[in-house]
Amino acid sequence: MEFDLLADVPIDEVQATPDGFVMQGRGSDRLGYRLEMHIDWPVDARTKKVLGEILSQSEVRVMRWRAPAPKGRSR
């Protein structure tokens, strides 16, 4: 399966929420992006702080599945 790159988003801000994190940044396309990450198990405050620091130094690559080419045409 092939994917199309929508944006590379360096994370500028990370906020801890009761159930995970909210990350925000400006993508390579100059648009603003917000990514919410929910964690389904309890995370103690110290671990959440470390995860937040790691995520704040990360970059998110947003991709989506490439639509199949119409029959008789190739990409």
pLDDT at 23: 97
- Residue numbers of the domain that contains 33: 3-65
pLDDT at 1: 77
Give the global pTM: 0.77
21 lies in some domain: yes
- pLDDT (tens digit, 0 to 9) for every residue of the chain, 75 residues total? 799 999 999 999 999 999 999 999 999 889 999 999 999 999 999 999 999 999 999 999 999 999 887 887 665
What's the token pair of residue 17?
């929420």
Instruction: Measure Cα distances from 65 to 6, 19, 31, 41, 69 in Å.
Output: 10, 28, 20, 29, 12
73 lies in some domain: no
Considering its fold, how many domains does the chain have in total?
Answer: 1
Euclidean distance between CA atoms 67 and 28, whole angstroms: 22
72 lies in some domain: no
Strand partners, 49: none
71 lies in some domain: no
